[in-house]
Chains A and B, each alone.
Chain A
Amino acid sequence: MTKQVEKVDRVIIRFAGDSGDGMQLTGDRFTSETAAFGNDLSTLPDFPAEIRAPAGTLPGVSAFQLHFADHDILTPGDAPDVLVAMNPAALKANLKDVPRGGTIIVNTDEFTSRALTKVGYTASPLEDGSLDGYKVHKVALTTQTVKVLEEFDISRKDAERAKNMYSLGLLSWLYHRPTDSTVAFLEKKFAKKPEIAAANVAAFRAGWNYGETTEDFVVSYEIAPAPMPKGTYRNIHGNLALAYGLIAASHASGLPMFLGAYPITPASDILHELSKHKNHGVRTFQAEDEIAGIGAALGASFGGALGVTTTSGPGIALKGETIGLAVSLELPLVICDIQRGGPSTGLPTKTEQSDLFLAMFGRNGEAPVPIVAPRSPADCFDAALEAARIAVTYRTPVFLLSDGYLANGSEPWRIPDVADLPVIAPDFATGPNKVLEDGSEAFWPFLRDPATLARPWAVPGTPGLEHRIGGIEKQDGTGNISYDPANHDLMVRTRAAKVAGIDVPDLEVDDPSGAAKVLVLGWGSTYGPIQAACRRVRREGNQVAHAHLRHLNPFPANLGRILKEYDRVLVPEMNLGQLSMLVRARYLVDAVGYNQVRGLPFKAAELAGVITNLIGTTDAVEGVGV
């Protein structure tokens, strides 16, 4: 039969199934095909913390959402156009997000009365009319997969497992995805089990062919490649980009990297990745605990390495004392906090931005630490380089505040030219820096660079510069122990001035018309949803400005001026108002918070509504003639 081909500009697909159904893998493969095809894309994996939650239950549902388009997009999308539901639990957990008229592909084999009862369905939603209004495709995915694989010498269980590849094949047909990379991927993944590899490839192709032949699907869709700036691209996850950024910083500074880390979700992938790259001189140390992880990194920094520790909120809570020591010793250290829902264990696999105060203030004493936050998965690369630049230049620990959404989300990344990367200069001390009254020369470990207030970094092995540093207050200049009141006051103020004086670029404002009265101020991973929301608001004919902070400590010098240029300032955050409290305190600006802690990124449509409402209030004020 001849099938129709329809052109669309963007699609949002959500794959959902049991934790063991391979939905993350399916999503990843579809993403790779889509990246290779040249669409712009953004992804959102959403999975439970349990490795294998009880099968067929609502808490066990694992999902992967992918948004791809023929134009520049910013988020994984608000609502799926297509839901692939591998069982009743996946349908029940995700149906509420699918707008009426959306497409639902279900694996009918799993809709047994037992499976339905398990999630509280009294009748099958496939038959009781509750899916009226959706385009439902009922496919016996398991049966069809097993039938295709009858001739393979594999167990029934292995055959059933290949149903995710069957569904991937079907979706790949539906959206005209290139298939070569998936075939190559399967052959490599199962290289040691060629029969399993062949079976998965067969299931994948059978899914494709089913789409082409069945009368159930009469339309397939084309999404043209998106125009993007010239360059070579790859698809990249936030944690991978962050790891690459750290390695790039090691190359750029000539400092060998030392990572001290303890396994923790969602940061562990950075440890995994860095541990592969020993030929780049990267030392990775899986420590006995979070405290040892940062301790070892700080010890390595003392020895002249680029010390790095990676963790999430609970780990930062444990590292606090050592961060304070790093502030006091004034040694470079990059502290990566891949934020997750809190407090305590919280939501290990879900995203949140609630560690901003922890990064700003979570130490005893006056212990300022610079903070850098990436805005998108690919931006984790640049943000990691920037964190390392500040750490090395100013001899200070630096927070890199990523989060679970950036860590596991992915997007196309234009691979930078290595020659264009910033140079980071460690400028190790090589000789005495002080002439004493008697004319002799000495090395003073706390005699600062007058411009940056950074102290000299003299590493062991350098003759003549032997010195002792510690967490006790130091005398200005000599670094000797000092309990002198005036000296302590001076040192506290000097450390604060050093961080406050860090050279950070001015904040740029996206205000195309220049006529906006409302400014949306964000930081970190909310960039995509906020920017998408602003575009919606503008498409509707309203004016709104967007500024997004990469540097949260110190703030860009022009932030205060920008905030005062707008009638209203809206600060959307995935916390209860941490940045808004900081800007209110610092700039006396009546910032309005919009806050959610649902473990998921903001939806652009919802934010657009909030912005539009706020714009309405400014108009009203004008109308009254105030």
Chain B
Amino acid sequence: MPELLKLTTKDFKTDQEVRWCPGCGDYAILAAVQGFMPSLGIKREDIVFVSGIGCSSRFPYYMNTYGMHSIHGRAPAIATGLAASRPDLSVWVVTGDGDALSIGGNHLIHALRRNVNLKILLFNNRIYGLTKGQYSPTSEQGKITKSTPYGSLDAPFNPVSLALGAEATFVARTIDSDRKHLTSVLQAAAEHEGTALIEIYQNCNIFNDGAFEKLKDSSVRDRHLIRLEHGQPITFGAGEDRYGIVRMPDATLKAMPLAEAGDSVLVHDAHADEPDLAFALSRLPDPATLSPTPIGVFRSVRRPTYDTLMSDQLDDAARRLGSGKLDELLTGSDTWTIG
């Protein structure tokens, strides 16, 4: 109960100097997470933040909980061992697009399919920041960077599509600067039992400034941003210029002027058994222009968590066989005695 714990935002701040670049989107995310933590109603000592390597991965040093800043890409694996052996803890992973999707891609997809009780915050700035500006696995094709002076050649990952394909039970997207939305998504993730992946569009003002500007600029963002809400029609736009998402005869989704779409506008169902609507929504934006981009909870379904299943197996074995006796184990069934 939050009231009983009486924790405040300040309780989650550490005495360490925050060392991100001035103007970095990480500050806004840190403030939102520190501000949201008291509402969790969980004691600080029962919360652990685990990160990999990269700018975002400095995050644990600034959270006054237990924390581990680990190695590049491996945070989901390390957090899996922690969460699976300590189901009593609230375990959060902080990672970036390079950390989670490039060097650590394997761990991410397996954490998602296992449905370990982890909340994964994926800060996506579409660039490598800490190594000073190489293109990342989410950079748009043709990106000019230090390592790609002639333009990057590879097609980017869509993190939401990837997570849905990896059997994720909870997938959401939000934006660093929209604190209210970010907090609402954190809340939904915290309430979810199992792995929750939250992609957070985060601005790197040094190496990829303005990557999400059209989704942030209040004068234009409504034309590009779809705010998904479970049970609500999927619409976006501003003023007279409003659109609804409809399913075409070939099963693809399309934005259609509301007047034209009428009743055929799709209603968002984040709890659908099958992830096809969520996946189709994840494919809506043009990878180059990011328009129109859905944010909010794409998918949130219930499936037993890995850590609970593991604990259940142990409890069941102890119930059936009795608590293990070491001397019986060592003796076994095939012995002989001398003397």
Q: Which residues of A contact B (CB under 8 A)?
A: 32, 35-36, 38, 181, 228-235, 244, 247-248, 251, 256, 258, 260, 277-281, 283, 285, 287-289, 291-292, 295-305, 307, 321-322, 324-325, 329, 415-418, 460-472, 480-481
Contacts and interface: CB of A to CB of B under 8 A. Distances in A.
A584 B229 CA distance: 71
Given A292-B110, A460-B45, A244 B334 contact: no
Interface stretch (B154-162, B296-304, B311-319): B311-319
B318 A471 contact: no
Given A258-B85, A467-B66, A279 B321 contact: yes
Interface string B295-339: 000000000000000100110111011111011011110111111
Given A279-B322, A465-B45, A285 B332 contact: no
Interface stretch (B71-79, B248-256, B279-287): B71-79
Interface stretch (B57-65, B131-139, B142-150, B180-188): B57-65
A418 B327 contact: yes
Given A291-B77, A292-B106, A247 B85 contact: no
Contact of A471 (B70, B77, B86, B331): B70
Contacts of B331: 232, 234, 415
A325 B337 CA distance: 46
A295 B43 contact: no
Interface string B23-47: 0000000000000000000011111
A299 B82 contact: yes
B101 interface: no
Given A248-B330, A292-B110, A466-B66, A233 B335 contact: yes
Interface-centre pick from A258, A304, A460, A471 (highest chain B CB count, 10 A): A460
A563 B330 CA distance: 38
A522 B324 CA distance: 37
B338 A287 contact: no
11 contacts: A232-B336, A232-B338, A296-B78, A302-B68, A303-B82, A303-B89, A463-B44, A463-B45, A468-B67, A470-B69, A470-B70
B44 A466 contact: yes
Contact of B89 (A181, A325, A461, A467): A461
A87 B72 CA distance: 53
Contacts of B327: 417-418
Contacts of A303: 48, 81-82, 85-86, 89
A271 to B, nearest CB: 15
B89 A231 contact: no
A303 B47 CA distance: 11
Given A464-B45, A470-B60, A480-B16, A295 B338 contact: no
Contacts, number: 206
A248 B336 contact: no
A468 B69 contact: yes
Nearest to A325: B71
A470 B74 CA distance: 13
Nearest to A460: B66
A307 B86 CA distance: 13
Contacts of A248: 326, 330
Contact of B334 (A234, A297, A299, A322): A234
Given A287-B77, A299-B79, A466-B66, A232 B335 contact: yes
A36 B50 CA distance: 52
Nearest to A480: B16
Contact of A234 (B67, B332, B339): B332
A122 to B, nearest CB: 47
A244 B329 contact: yes
Contacts of A287: 77, 110
B80 interface: yes
Contacts of B339: 229-231
Contacts of A325: 70-71
Interface centre among B61, B85, B107, B313 (most CB of A within 10 A): B85
Nearest to B322: A279
Given A181-B334, A296-B77, A468-B49, 12 more contacts: A230-B338, A247-B326, A279-B323, A295-B77, A295-B81, A299-B79, A302-B78, A325-B70, A460-B45, A463-B43, A464-B45, A480-B16
Nearest to A230: B339
Nearest to B306: A285
Nearest to A471: B71
Given A181-B334, A234-B334, A468-B14, A280 B107 contact: no
B336 A469 contact: no
Given A36-B334, A38-B338, A288-B107, A322 B71 contact: yes
| Residue picked from B49, B64, B335, most chain A C-beta under 10 Å | B335
A245 to B, nearest CB: 10
B328 to A, nearest CB: 10
Contacts of A35: 334, 336
A317 to B, nearest CB: 15
B69 A295 contact: no
The 9 closest A-B pairs by CB, nearest first: A230-B339, A470-B69, A296-B81, A299-B81, A280-B324, A295-B77, A278-B317, A292-B77, A468-B67
Nearest to A233: B336
A460 B314 contact: no
B88 interface: yes
A545 to B, nearest CB: 30
Contacts of B49: 468
Contact of A277 (B74, B78, B329, B337): B329
A416 to B, nearest CB: 7
A232 B331 CA distance: 8
B84 interface: yes
A301 B81 CA distance: 8
A397 to B, nearest CB: 14
Contact of A299 (B47, B80, B338): B80
A285 B71 contact: no
B48 to A, nearest CB: 5
A35 B335 CA distance: 8
A228 B339 CA distance: 9
A461 B43 CA distance: 8
A280 B317 CA distance: 9
Given A233-B336, A288-B110, A470 B45 contact: no
Contacts of A230: 338-339
A271 B162 CA distance: 31
B66 to A, nearest CB: 4
B290 to A, nearest CB: 31
A460 B77 contact: no
A299 B14 contact: no
A247 B338 contact: no
B326 A251 contact: yes
A373 to B, nearest CB: 22
A279 B45 contact: no
Contacts of B317: 278-279
A613 B63 CA distance: 67
Contacts of B79: 299
A298 B80 CA distance: 10
B86 A235 contact: no
A295 B74 contact: yes
Given A299-B82, A470-B60, A279 B324 contact: yes
Contacts of A470: 60-61, 67-70
A300 B81 contact: yes
B311 to A, nearest CB: 9
A302 B50 CA distance: 11
B87 to A, nearest CB: 10
A472 B67 CA distance: 13
Contacts of A247: 324, 326, 329
Contacts of A304: 86
Contacts of B83: 299
